[in-house]
Amino acid sequence: MAKPKKQPRPKAITPKGFRDYFGQEVTQRTEMLRAIADVYHRYGFDALESSAVETVEALGKFLPDVDRPNEGVFAWQEVDENDKGDWMALRYDLTAPLARVYAQHRNDLPTPYRRYAMGVVWRNEKPGPGRYRQFYQCDADTVGTASMAADAEICAMLSDTLETVGIPRGDYLVRVNNRKVLNGVLEAMGLGDDVATRDAVLRTIDKFDKVGKAGVRELLTKGRLDASGAFIDGVGLSDDQAEPVIAFLTSKAAVTAGTLANLRAAVGDSKIGADGIDELEQIGALLDAGGYGTDRIEIDPSVVRGLGYYTGPVYEAELTFEIFDEKDRKRQFGSVAGGGRYDDLVKRFTGQEVPATGISIGVDRLLAALREKGRISAQATGPVVVTVMDRDRMADYQAMVAELRNAGVRAEVYLGNPKNFGNQLKYADKRNSSIAVIEGGDEKAGGIVQIKDLILGAKIAESATLEEWKERPSQFEVPRGDLVAKVREILDSQD
């Protein structure tokens, strides 16, 4: 009789494109999101938690085709008795679900509807360095008003949010543009309904940050040699046709009025372009009235986001301080948030245009920025550890922990083998604990406890002489009844 085949053990490995988040990372993210939520709440926005799963049809952007039904998303088919059913998918952002929620519940929601959402999204894309298939987003949107006051409010709220979480003024800039102005430039170029050429121009505009004014002109006309020496074919426009694009991209002036005047020249007689500039002018006036100067929020025509998605104003929050990349080169930190007006998204469900505008913050990037600025500690403080000197007195140790927890102090009892006291202190060190509580038989008989300041003890052990150690004790003997008060005193001194 053949021996049954042994089942191989599963590999303990994170799936490609995913990662695990441990205690301090989760705590830091939670604290940052709480601070952001406070700002959003102050602006009158309500929290919304929508389903993590949507129908692929509702998600829209990644509608399935015959050959690749799950392109861009993680999708599966709900099969019924006839082997047919809806395609379902994990949400790839928080905006598409909002459109479905508003269309479904619009009769019960106020108009306009201000909402914020924070949560995980999933994208079935090729992972790369720092690019994961699962990540956090933090969004705020206003649905149901075409007023530019809603866009100005989003920009002001984004500015306040960055300062609240720890990005000081001068280290960030919220930049604002308008997709209508870009459409006006395309009209001024005389491209008409030539969709292929318009798309080629848009792709070229998106390269402005990399190739600059001269590079864009070459790519729009005859083509150019890239850094590797390879020749890139141009769009084939004449110099005159290319000029409105160059004027648009280089229209930023020292003051907002100058920028708007340059944009009016770039769009020529285009009505949609003129409408976009009027909207930018309104946003600028509203922000100025609210005390948001150009040191915080500015009109910048070089901002081009989601070319096929946005219908009006677009915004981007850029962190302007320098960091060192993996090759030890200086560079600006870059964008941490982006958004804009999208008036066509809800229309897919209702058949009627519903204006909407919003912003999305890249949570992991903003956290990384705060660590770069030293505004979030790389190490989260662990719990107070009550050590176990006598396993038969576990009830006494549990009573200590209960007192500390009831007083709002994070604490735990050591639950491993108490035989080796050194291992208990090693455990406390691994937990990044700040205090250890010790009560052996002698302490119990004397009605006292020993409280060890682990952080001060580590510092003294690293650098102090024996005399300095005597002058600055890191272990205190206090009456048992003073346990909570002394622990609080030490925690306050550590803070």
Which DSSP string do the residues of 281-340 spell out, in sequence order?
HHHHHHHHHTT--TTTEEE-TT----TTT-SSEEEEEEEEEEEE-TTS-EEEEEEEEEEE
Residue 193: φ, ψ to 5°? -100, 20
Question: Closest by alpha carbon to 122, among 64, 59, 73?
Answer: 73
Same structural domain, 52 and 89: yes
Same structural domain, 124 and 261: no
14-17 long-range Cβ contacts below 8 angstroms, 24+ apart: 16/127, 16/133, 17/125, 17/126, 17/127, 17/132, 17/133, 17/134
- Looking up residue 34, the CATH number of its domain turns out to be 3.30.930.10
Same structural domain, 364 and 389: no
Same structural domain, 247 and 346: no
305 within some domain: yes
Same structural domain, 311 and 413: no
Q: What is the pLDDT of residue 64?
A: 43
Q: What is the pLDDT of residue 423?
A: 93
Same structural domain, 306 and 432: no
333 within some domain: no
Torsion of the alpha carbons at 382, 368, 315 and 216, rounded to the nearest 10: -170
Please calculate the CA angle 15-19-21 and round it to the nearest 5 degrees.
145
**Separation CA 168–CA 68 (nearest Å):** 46
Residues of the domain holding 272: 169-323
161 within some domain: no
Which DSSP string do the residues of 357-379 spell out, in sequence order?
EEEEEEHHHHHHHHHHTT-S-SS
Q: What is the pLDDT of residue 480?
A: 95
Write down which residue in 380, 400, 429 finishes a domain.
Answer: 380
Same structural domain, 297 and 362: no
Q: What is the pLDDT of residue 65?
A: 45
**338 CB-contact burial (10 Å; exposed 0-12 / middle 13-18 / buried 19+):** buried
Question: Closest by alpha carbon to 91, among 61, 128, 131, 129?
Answer: 61
121 within some domain: yes
Per-residue pLDDT of the chain (495 residues; tens, 9 = 90+): 567 778 888 899 999 999 998 888 888 899 999 999 999 999 999 999 999 999 988 887 654 444 455 678 888 888 777 767 888 899 999 999 999 999 999 999 999 999 999 999 998 888 877 788 999 999 999 999 999 999 999 999 999 999 999 999 999 999 999 999 988 988 888 876 777 888 788 788 878 878 888 888 888 888 888 877 788 888 888 888 888 888 888 888 889 999 999 999 988 889 999 999 999 999 999 999 999 999 999 999 888 766 567 899 999 999 988 776 666 666 778 889 999 999 988 888 999 889 999 999 999 889 988 888 887 765 667 899 999 999 899 999 999 999 999 999 999 999 998 889 999 999 999 998 999 999 999 999 999 999 999 988 777 766 655 555 456 678 899 999 999 999 999 999 887
Q: What is the pLDDT of residue 433?
A: 93
> For residue 141, what are the β-bridge partners?
115, 358
Q: DSSP class of residue 482?
A: G
68-to-1, 72, 134, 366 alpha-carbon distances in Å? 46, 9, 21, 34
450 within some domain: yes
Write down which residue in 357, 380, 403 finishes a domain.
Answer: 380
- Looking up residue 484, the CATH number of its domain turns out to be 3.40.50.800
Same structural domain, 99 and 176: no
Same structural domain, 120 and 237: no
Same structural domain, 446 and 374: no
CB 87, CB 55: distance < 8 Å: yes
Give the number of other CB atoms < 10 A from CB of residue 436.
23
Nearby residues of 461 by Cβ (< 8 Å), 6 or more positions away? none
328 within some domain: no
Same structural domain, 354 and 371: yes
CB 112, CB 354: distance < 8 Å: no
Write down which residue in 295, 323, 351 finishes a domain.
Answer: 323
369 within some domain: yes
329 within some domain: no
Count: domains in the chain: 3
Same structural domain, 317 and 190: yes
